[in-house]
C-alpha cells in the first residue's frame, strides 16, 4: 500500500474523532482576539502527538512543527479558529453554548480537519523528507486579523509553501474548488462622521443639517466605482450603516456612516480611499459642515500562485475520484490568508459543505449556518496531498 493510500485510510478512520473535535469547538466558540480556550485545546492536541509547538504566536496563535526524518522543503498548513458575534439559531445538539457567539463561518471545521491531519502525519514522520508547519490562526474575522501578527512573529520562517482551506456553504458537498491568480478581493472598512449644527426641526435655516449632508454623501460616494475606477476591474463600495439623530423633530449635530470597499488591486485600494476622503471633504464643506474619515485596512487581495494551484488541483483530480473539481470564479469576499501568499507560494482552496438533506443551506455568517461535516475529510485529504507532493509522495 502506498503512503498516500495509507494516510487517506487512516484519516477516514478518524472521522468520529473529527466530529467530536468539531462539535466541541462549535459548542464553545470564541471571538476574535479573545481566544483562550481554543488555543489551549489545540496546544494539548499537539502535545499529545509529540509535535513541537509554540503558543502565543502573534497574540493567540499556535504553531506546530513536525520534522521528518530527512531534510527537505517546509510545507505550512493553516486553519483559523475564531468565531463570530452571531447568536446560534440552529436546533442541533452541538449548538453554541455561548450566548451571541457562534461558529457561523466554518472555522471549527477547518481546525478539526487540521487537527486530524496532525494526528495522521505525526505517525509517519519518519517517511517525510522535510518539515510540516501547522498554523492555527486566531482573529481571521476582525481586522487587522491574526495573519499579519503571526507572520510578524515568525510563523513563516523557513516555510517554502503554504496551503489553506475554507469550507464553502454555497458549493455542494462533494466539490472542491480552485482558482489560480486573483481569488478573493482585498478591501478597507471606513467610518465617516459629518459634524453639523443641530437645532429644532421646525427651524432648519438655523442649523447645518448633517443628516441631509450625509445623505448626499452616500449618493456621491457611489460615483467612485462608476466614474473613478476602471470598468474592466471589479470594485465595490458599500455603505452598510447610517446613524443620525434620536428624535423626529430634532435636527442632530452629527451623522455617521460605515462601509467597506473591495477590489483586486492593492493600488486600487489606496485610490478608492483617496477618493472617499476627497469627496467626503468637498460634500461636507459645500454645506458648511466638517467631516472626519477613518479607514481600517481590512485585507489585501488573495492571489493564489499559479503553479501550486494547478499542481494541487491536478493531484485532487488524480487521487480523489469521489469529488467534483470546480473552477471557482473570483469572489469579492476577503480572507487574510492573502498575507501568507505575499511571502511564500501556495494555494487557498474551497471545499463544498452545502447539503439540503441536513438543512445545511444557509450562507456564511447566518444564524443557522451549518455544513456537511464530511467536508472535514475532504479538507484533510487535500492537505495531505499538498504535503506529500512536496515531501513524501511515493507514487
> Mean pLDDT in runs of 10 for the chain (395 residues)?
93 98 98 98 98 98 96 97 98 97 98 98 95 98 94 98 98 98 95 98 97 98 94 92 97 98 92 97 97 93 98 98 97 96 98 98 98 98 97 69
Neighbour count for residue 170 (Cβ, 10 Å): 13
Q: Does residue 110 contact residue 79 with C-beta atoms inside 8 Å?
A: yes
CB contact at 8 A, 229 and 270:
no
Helix (H, G, I), strand (E, B) or coil at 24: helix
193 forms bridges with which residues in the sheet?
256, 292
Strands 346-354, 161-172: pairing is parallel
Rounded (5°) CA angle 316-318-319: 70
Indicate which residues carry an active-site annotation.
Answer: 82, 140
Neighbours of 192 (CB within 10 A): 25
Strand partners, 208: 197
Beta strands at 161-172 and 70-80: parallel, antiparallel or unpaired: parallel
| CATH H-level superfamily of 3-182+301-391 | Zn peptidases (3.40.630.10)
pLDDT of residue 395: 56
Partners of 241 in the β-ladder = 258
Between CA 55 and CA 61 the distance in angstroms is: 6
- What pLDDT does 393 receive? 63
Distance between CA atoms of residues 334 and 185, nearest Å: 5
Domain spans, the chain: 3-182+301-391, 186-299
Query: What is the reported pLDDT for 392?
Result: 78
**For the domain 186-299, what is the CATH code?**
3.30.70.360
pTM: 0.93
Amino acid at each position: 500500500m502506498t503512503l498516500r493510500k495509507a494516510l487517506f485510510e487512516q484519516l477516514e478512520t478518524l472521522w468520529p474523532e473529527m466530529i467530536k473535535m468539531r462539535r466541541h469547538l462549535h459548542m464553545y466558540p470564541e471571538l476574535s482576539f479573545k481566544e483562550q480556550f481554543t488555543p489551549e485545546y489545540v496546544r494539548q492536541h499537539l502535545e499529545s502527538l509529540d509535535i513541537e509547538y509554540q503558543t502565543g504566536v502573534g497574540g493567540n496563535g499556535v504553531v506546530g512543527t513536525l520534522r521528518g526524518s530527512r531534510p527537505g522543503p517546509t510545507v505550512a498548513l493553516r486553519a483559523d479558529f475564531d468565531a463570530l458575534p452571531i447568536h446560534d439559531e440552529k436546533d442541533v445538539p452541538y449548538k453554541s453554548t455561548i450566548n451571541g457567539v457562534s461558529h457561523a463561518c466554518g472555522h471549527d471545521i477547518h481546525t478539526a480537519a487540521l487537527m486530524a491531519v496532525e494526528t495522521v502525519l505525526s505517525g509517519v514522520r519518519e517517511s517525510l523528507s522535510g518539515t510540516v508547519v501547522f498554523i492555527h490562526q486566531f482573529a481571521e474575522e476582525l481586522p487587522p486579523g491574526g495573519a499579519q501578527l503571526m507572520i510578524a512573529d515568525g510563523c513563516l520562517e523557513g516555510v517554502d509553501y503554504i496551503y489553506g482551506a475554507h469550507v464553502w456553504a454555497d458549493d455542494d458537498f462533494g466539490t472542491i474548488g480552485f482558482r489560480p491568480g486573483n481569488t478573493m478581493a482585498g478591501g478597507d472598512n471606513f467610518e465617516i462622521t459629518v459634524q453639523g449644527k443641530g437645532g429644532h426641526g421646525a427651524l432648519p435655516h438655523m442649523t447645518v443639517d448633517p443628516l441631509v449632508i450625509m445623505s448626499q454623501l452616500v449618493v456621491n460616494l457611489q460615483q467612485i466605482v462608476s466614474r473613478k475606477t476602471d470598468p474592466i476591474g471589479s470594485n465595490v463600495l458599500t455603505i452598510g450603516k447610517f446613524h443620525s439623530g434620536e428624535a423626529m423633530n430634532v435636527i442632530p449635530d452629527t451623522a455617521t456612516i460605515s462601509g467597506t470597499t473591495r477590489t483586486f488591486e492593492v493600488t486600487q485600494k489606496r485610490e478608492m480611499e483617496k477618493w472617499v476622503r476627497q469627496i467626503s471633504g468637498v460634500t461636507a464643506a459645500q454645506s458648511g459642515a466638517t467631516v472626519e474619515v477613518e479607514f481600517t485596512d481590512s485585507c489585501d487581495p488573495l492571489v493564489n500562485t499559479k503553479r501550486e494551484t494547478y499542481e494541487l488541483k491536478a493531484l485532487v483530480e488524480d487521487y480523489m475520484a469521489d469529488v467534483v473539481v470546480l473552477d471557482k470564479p473570483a469572489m469579492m469576499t476577503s480572507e487574510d490568508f492573502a498575507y501568507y501568499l505575499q511571502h511564500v507560494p501556495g494555494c487557498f482552496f474551497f471545499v463544498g459543505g452545502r447539503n439540503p438533506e441536513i438543512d445545511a443551506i444557509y450562507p456564511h455568517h447566518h444564524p443557522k449556518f451549518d455544513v456537511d461535516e464530511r467536508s472535514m475529510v475532504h479538507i484533510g485529504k487535500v492537505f495531505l496531498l499538498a504535503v506529500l507532493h512536496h515531501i513524501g509522495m511515493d507514487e
